[in-house]
Each structure stands twice: as C-alpha cells, then as structure tokens.
C-alpha cells in the first residue's frame, strides 16, 4: 500500500512563500530584541490615540445626521450634544488614568473585570472588546474610503473595494512590528492634528472678524422625518437627542486601547501611558469642539438620504448628488473648495481614518494573546511572530473586519449602529471593577496620604461608572433596533465560543494529566506490527526491513483482495521471494479497502486490548505536484482513519522516486 508524498515540491513552495514573506514583513527579530519595540510617548500617541482622535472625522457627521431627522432647527443644538459627549470623554480619560496605574500589565478592562468581578464578567468584557475592535477597523476604513471618494469623485461607488485594500495594507504594516507601524503612522497623525486645529483656529478668526463664509449645504431646507414635524419637542424629540448623543459617543472609542497597551510603553510604563492618555483626551476634546462649532457657524447640513430629505427652493436635490462629510464642507468654506489647504485636510482626514484602525491592530492581538494564555482562545494566538508582533491576532482581526466591510458594503451609517455598544460595556464593567479594587485596598491602608489618593481615585472611577452606565443604557435603548442587536448577538456567540474553548482545554488537561500509576499503565503488553501490501515492490520490502528491525512481538503482512488476479500475483511474488513473514489476505466482497483493514485491526484489539499495534505504510515520495494526483490515494484514507483508532500507531516508510531525486538536485543547484 503506497502513499505519494512530495517533500521537495512542498519545500520549494514553502521556500517561495518564506522569501515572499520576508519581502513583505522583513527579517525576523530575536526574542532579546523585544525592548527594541517599546515606544516613547511621541510614537505611542499616534499609535494608540489615532482611533479616538480620528473619531472627530465621523462622530460630528453622525450627530448632524441624526438631528437632521427633526429639521433645520434641531441641527443647531449639535454643539450642545457634542459638549455632553466631551464631558463624558474627559471623565472616562480621567478614570482610565487610574486604571493604567493600578493595572499596568496590559490586561486592561478584561483583567480589571476578571480580578474584581469574576471570570464571567471578565469574559463578557473580553467579548465586547474583541467585537468592538473588529468594528473599529471596519468603521474607520469605511469612513476613510468615503473621504477618498470625496477627494476623487471618480472613486464614488468603490468604497468597499478601497476599504478592503486598506485593511490588507494595514495588516501587512502591522505584521512588520509595532514600532515599525508607529514610525509609519506618526507623521500623518500629527499632520491631521495640525490640520484640524489649524482649520479651527482660522475658522474662529474668520468668525470673530466676520469673514466666515457659509457651507455649500447651508441653504438646504431639511424635510423632517415622519413623527418629528414639531422638531425636538416631546418624547420623540427627547429620544432623538439621546440617539444623537449615543452616535456622537463614538468619539470615546479607542480610549481603552492605551490601558491594553501599557506593556508597549517605555519605562516608567504606567506613567508614560497615563500622560499619553491625558494628551489624547485634551486633543480629542479640542478637535471635537472645534469641528462642531464650525459646523454650526457655517451651517453645515447632513442627511442620511440627501435626495429625499433636502430641498432647494422647494425642489429635491438630484438623485446623483454626492454629500461631502462635515470636515470636507468646513474646509471648503474656510479655505475654498479646490484650494491646497482643502486637499491637504481631506487627504489627512482620509489617512488618519485608515490609521485609526491601527489602534485596534494593537489592542486586539494583545488582548487575544492574554485570552489565549488563559485558555479562552486558541493557543496559536498567545505567542509573538518572528517580527515580535502577535501575527495571528493581526490576521484574525483583519479577517473579521473584511467580513463586515463586505457584508455592509462599507456603509458607515449602518456600521456605526453596531459600534460603541461593546466599548461602553467594557467601560462600565472596568469602572465598577476599579471601585471594588479601591474599596478593597482601602481596608488595608493606614497611611493618610495614600488613603486620600485612593479615595480620590475611587471618586473618579465612581463618576466614570455612573456616566458610562448612563451612556450604555442610552446606546442600548436608542440603537438596539438600528443594528446594536447584531453586535450584542456577536458578543454572546463569541462569549459562548470562548467559554467552550476553555472547557475543552480543561477537559483535555484532565484527560492527559499524569497520575501516580500512569506510567506502568502506559506500557503495552506486546507490540504487533502490520505491513500494508498492495504489490510486492521495493517500498514494501523496505517497510518489512524496518518493521523487523523494531523487533515486534508479532509481525504480519496484510493485503486486501480487491481483484482475484492481482491478489494471486501478489501471493505468488510473496512466495517466490520466500518472505520471512506470513501474508494474510483480507476478503473484500464489496471491493472496499478501508473496512477490511479496520475490522482486522479491531479484531486484534479485541483479543488483546492492552497490546499496541504498529501499522507500517510504504509511501512514494514524488517530485512533481501532478504525480501525486495519478497515484492511488487509498493509503491516505487509511492513515487518516487509523489516527482515530486507540492503541494503534502509524509508521510511514518513505521511498524516493527518481523524480523526487531530480527535484532535489534542481533545488540544490538553484
């Protein structure tokens, strides 16, 4: 019985892919070079803050889009909705500064919830964060694609393709390592900060001097949606305000990433992480406030369905009207459409939205690694790759984001409804965990100064808990029917998957644990060797020689009677060569190979359950891929099936054909 193999062919293919991999991600790093990947604050800020900073590119849009349902008058309250979001942002940043000091190991919200609230809460937080990280990449890339389509109108309609390419490129960059990714992202992120803050400063100056113009959409009349004819008055209006607030709360996503990435900072790690977190909060708040102020001052109008909701002199807009995002409209108003500053701002915004996904590419793999170490995810996710990045985590995140982008066709408005549910679940759980953390420590501390600092930290975390819980309730109520239920369902499914993986690992560990008398029981009473024979050829003779060299208790050759003529020839050849091993012919009335062999082995096992059976299978080693297709693959099925049979081991005996030798020589020469 022979099984073709092609190690030389496989080796060439693997060598090709290895060389291709080196071109894409670079040469491998030794483990002792891990310190090389640690980040100073100036690099850590663009890596970990890009998500939160970039939210100013789409959070104002979502606030304006939601308020537009109640007409033009409702849009004027957008700055106040933004102010409420900024208050929550500042509170959460202050709360997370306490987190990074108390838990600098990188477990972040998952570690805090697990330590203080239990495994169930910790796994809930982990599920929420993993789903939210995937959504971060999908939303950011989709938004970036929309901005690119704004700058290049000819790309309108290809946003999904652009977003897919962006995810692939970003994954490749992160596979090169976190420090290398930071070097790539630092300059564009700082350019975006300068662009938004500079545009805000120029816009404020123009407003004070009376020279600030009006946006192209300022004269559009907005037709209120059914039920909102009275604007924001009544229960429906209040609900719409809450919905706008929950959409704007997307500005808080990414804040938690720094607490998960503390190990990536240079020493002192927790201090540098807390400082970076403070810088993130101040910058995000200023940029969000500036964008919403200028949007209100220039009269920017947004609508989910521009052709259906906008009117100009009582007439609807053309069906092919392309609505530009808020920042694009403000830049066109402040600097002029088509000006150099306009294109710089639009380009910087599109780039930062791409790089915003990098926050997730740093948070997801680290969290997945910790979960894998705890047994909740496959163990392949817990180790670093040859570039000292968590490569499998990067690939898993990219795959999840690609599925969402394709499924929702890169529609930001649809994706945003799934967004932020997970992050506020983790916010709320971690703040509650921190309250219990400080309460527990206060029972053991006597020094007045230390006790005062702990009480202050507990007050900050308590305020953060109340605010994030309030926002979570608002998000669940206002976004559930719009798509938040999909995110919740994904979290539940992921929770159950991780719980089952942990249960599987625990079960396997118990099954494989070595107790006091396991070693004597592991010794077989006798060893029986079986050699599979289809024809009496050189591979069979080699297998026979190896089997005899192992000195088994019994040695038997078996062949399956599929064709009486061939079987008679095999028996004749066996007798002619005077083989020193008996040949047993297994009947097969239905011309099936596998079952007679399995029945023979099971009969041997039934007679001697403690004996070990070793099955020797001759294998052809071929040099060309197509040669594997023209050889009988029955032995492969036998080999696969035997792996599931207790008390049976498989020994492969290779025989190199001439084509494999030629292939090996060619490989050596090349």
The region of weakest confidence among 216-220, 373-377, 544-548 is: 216-220
Establish if 532 belongs to a structural domain: yes
Cα–Cα distance, 254 to 268 (Å, whole number): 22
pLDDT at 323 over 90: no
pLDDT value for 54: 76
Cα separations in angstroms, 198 against 194, 202, 366, 500: 6, 6, 35, 52
- Give me the CATH number covering residue 635: 3.40.50.620
Mean pLDDT of 489-507: 91
The region of weakest confidence among 40-54, 213-227, 360-374, 652-666 is: 652-666
How many folded domains does the chain comprise?
2
- Which of helix, strand or coil describes residue 528? strand
Cα–Cα distance, 458 to 438 (Å, whole number): 6
Establish if 384 belongs to a structural domain: yes
Cα–Cα distance, 346 to 145 (Å, whole number): 11
Establish if 507 belongs to a structural domain: no
pLDDT value for 29: 54
378, 412, 446 — which closes off a domain?
412
Q: Are residues 522 and 403 in the same domain?
A: no
pLDDT at 512 over 80: no
The secondary element (H helix, E strand) that includes residue 590 is none
Cα–Cα distance, 567 to 643 (Å, whole number): 27
pLDDT value for 487: 86
Q: Terminal CA-to-CA distance of the chain, rounded, Å?
A: 34
- Which of helix, strand or coil describes residue 608? coil
User: If we measure between CA atoms, which residue out of 474, 68, 88, 111 comes closest to residue 253?
Assistant: 88
pLDDT at 526 over 90: no
Q: Are residues 525 and 408 in the same domain?
A: no
Question: Is the pLDDT higher at 504 or at 49?
Answer: 504
Cα–Cα distance, 98 to 461 (Å, whole number): 8
Question: Is the pLDDT higher at 595 or at 259?
Answer: 595
pLDDT value for 10: 47
pLDDT at 668 over 60: no
pLDDT value for 14: 46
The secondary element (H helix, E strand) that includes residue 335 is helix 326-335
Mean pLDDT of 271-293: 89
What is the tens place of the pLDDT at every residue in 236-270?
A: 777 888 888 887 887 777 777 777 778 778 888 88
Q: Are residues 334 and 194 in the same domain?
A: yes
pLDDT at 624 over 70: no
Q: Are residues 236 and 367 in the same domain?
A: yes
Its pTM stands at 0.70
pLDDT value for 63: 86
Establish if 118 belongs to a structural domain: no
Residue 669: pLDDT band (50, 70, 90) is very low
Cα–Cα distance, 284 to 91 (Å, whole number): 13
Percent of residues, the chain, with pLDDT higher than 90: 18
Mean pLDDT of 547-575: 91
- Give me the CATH number covering residue 210: 1.20.1740.10
Establish if 236 belongs to a structural domain: yes
pLDDT value for 368: 87
Establish if 547 belongs to a structural domain: yes
Cα separations in angstroms, 235 against 82, 230, 245, 529: 21, 11, 15, 81
Mean pLDDT of 159-174: 84
Q: b/e per residue, 94-115, with b = 16+ CB within 10 A?
A: bbbbbbbebbbebbbbbbbbbb
Q: Are residues 244 and 386 in the same domain?
A: yes
Mean pLDDT of 5-24: 50
Residue 25: pLDDT band (50, 70, 90) is low
Establish if 495 belongs to a structural domain: no
412, 430, 454 — which closes off a domain?
412
Percent of residues, the chain, with pLDDT higher than 70: 84
Mean pLDDT of 10-15: 50
Residues in the chain: 670
Residue 7: pLDDT band (50, 70, 90) is very low
What is the tens place of the pLDDT at every residue in 115-157?
A: 999 999 999 999 998 998 888 888 878 877 877 776 677 777 7
pLDDT value for 670: 43
pLDDT value for 162: 85
Residues 6+ apart with CB under 8 A from 19: none
Cα–Cα distance, 557 to 618 (Å, whole number): 12
What is the tens place of the pLDDT at every residue in 340-358?
A: 999 899 888 878 877 777 7
Establish if 504 belongs to a structural domain: no
Cα separations in angstroms, 268 against 38, 94, 179, 373: 11, 19, 18, 25
Q: Please name the residue ranges forming H helices in 383-484.
A: 391-407, 412-418, 421-442, 448-479
CA angle 262, 263, 267 (to 5 degrees): 90
Residue 613: pLDDT band (50, 70, 90) is very high
Q: Are residues 405 and 551 in the same domain?
A: no
What is the tens place of the pLDDT at every residue in 52-80?
A: 777 777 788 888 888 888 777 778 888 88
pLDDT at 660 over 80: no
Residue 666: pLDDT band (50, 70, 90) is very low
Mean pLDDT of 24-34: 53
- In the numeric block, the tokens 């740093």 are attached to 362
pLDDT value for 6: 45
394, 412, 430 — which closes off a domain?
412
- Mean pLDDT across the chain: 81
Domain with 331, as residue range(s), is 37-110+134-412
Question: Is the pLDDT higher at 387 or at 408?
Answer: 408
Contact at 8 Å (CB) between 178 and 264? yes
Q: Are residues 522 and 394 in the same domain?
A: no
pLDDT value for 132: 85
- In the numeric block, the tokens 């607490």 are attached to 259
């Amino acid at each position: 019985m022979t099984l073709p193999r092609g190690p030389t062919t496989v080796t060439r293919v693997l060598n090709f892919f290895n060389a291709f991999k080196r071109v894409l991600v670079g040469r491998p790093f030794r483990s002792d070079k891990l310190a090389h990947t640690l980040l100073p604050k100036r690099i850590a800020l663009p890596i970990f803050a890009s998500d939160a900073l970039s939210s100013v590119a789409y959070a104002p849009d979502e606030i304006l889009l939601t308020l537009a349902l109640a007409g033009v008058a409702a849009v004027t309250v957008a700055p106040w909705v933004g102010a409420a979001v900024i208050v929550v942002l500042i509170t959460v940043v202050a709360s997370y500064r306490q987190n990074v000091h108390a838990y600098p190991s990188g477990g972040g919200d998952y570690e805090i919830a697990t330590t203080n609230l239990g495994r169930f809460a910790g796994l809930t937080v982990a599920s929420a964060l993993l789903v939210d990280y995937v959504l971060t990449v999908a939303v950011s890339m989709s938004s970036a694609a929309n901005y690119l389509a704004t700058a290049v109108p000819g790309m309108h309609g290809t946003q999904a393709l652009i977003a897919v390419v962006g995810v692939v490129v970003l994954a490749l960059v992160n596979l090169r390592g976190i420090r290398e990714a930071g070097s790539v992202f630092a300059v564009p992120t700082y350019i975006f900060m300068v662009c938004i803050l500079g545009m805000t400063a120029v816009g404020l100056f123009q407003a004070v001097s009376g020279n600030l113009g009006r946006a192209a959409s300022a004269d559009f009349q907005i037709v209120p949606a059914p039920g909102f004819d009275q604007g924001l008055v009544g229960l429906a209006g209040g609900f719409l305000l809450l919905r706008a607030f929950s959409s704007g709360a997307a500005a808080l996503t990414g804040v938690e990433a720094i607490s998960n990435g503390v190990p990536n900072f240079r020493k002192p790690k927790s201090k540098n992480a807390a400082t970076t977190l403070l810088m993130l909060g101040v910058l995000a708040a200023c940029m969000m406030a500036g964008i919403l102020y200028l949007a209100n001052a220039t009269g920017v109008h947004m609508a989910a369905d521009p052709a259906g909701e906008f009117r100009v002199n009582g007439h609807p807009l053309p069906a092919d009207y392309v609505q530009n995002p808020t920042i694009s409209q403000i830049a066109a108003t402040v600097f002029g459409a088509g000006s150099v500053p306009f294109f710089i701002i639009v380009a910087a915004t599109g780039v930062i939205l791409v790089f915003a996904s990098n926050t997730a590419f740093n948070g997801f793999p680290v969290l997945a690694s910790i979960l894998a170490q705890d047994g909740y995810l496959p163990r392949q996710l817990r180790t670093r790759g040859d570039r000292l990045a968590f490569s499998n985590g990067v690939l898993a995140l990219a795959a999840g984001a690609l599925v969402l982008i394709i499924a929702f066709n890169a529609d930001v408005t649809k994706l945003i409804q799934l967004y932020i549910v997970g992050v506020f679940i983790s916010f709320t759980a971690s703040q509650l965990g921190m309250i219990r953390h400080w309460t527990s420590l206060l029972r053991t501390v006597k020094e007045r100064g230390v006790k005062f600092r702990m009480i202050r930290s507990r007050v900050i975390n308590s305020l953060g808990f109340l605010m994030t819980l309030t926002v979570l309730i608002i998000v669940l109520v206002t976004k559930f029917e719009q798509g938040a239920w999909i995110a919740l369902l994904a979290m539940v499914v992921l929770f159950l998957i991780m719980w089952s993986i942990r249960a599987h690992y625990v079960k396997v560990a118990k099954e494989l644990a070595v107790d006091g008398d396991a070693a004597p029981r592991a010794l077989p009473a006798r060893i029986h060797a079986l050699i599979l024979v289809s024809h009496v050829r050189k591979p069979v003779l080699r297998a026979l020689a190896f089997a005899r060299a192992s000195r088994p208790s019994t040695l038997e050759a078996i062949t399956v009677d599929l064709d009486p003529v061939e079987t008679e020839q095999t028996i004749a050849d066996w007798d002619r060569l005077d083989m020193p091993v008996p040949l047993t012919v297994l009947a097969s009335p239905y011309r099936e190979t596998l079952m007679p062999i399995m029945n023979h082995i099971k009969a041997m096992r039934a007679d001697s359950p403690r004996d070990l059976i070793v099955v020797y299978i001759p294998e052809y080693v071929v040099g060309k891929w197509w040669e594997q297709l023209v050889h009988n693959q029955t032995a492969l099925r036998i080999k696969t099936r035997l792996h599931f049979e207790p008390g049976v081991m498989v020994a492969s005996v290779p025989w190199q054909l001439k084509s494999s030798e030629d292939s090996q020589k060619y490989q050596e020469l090349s």
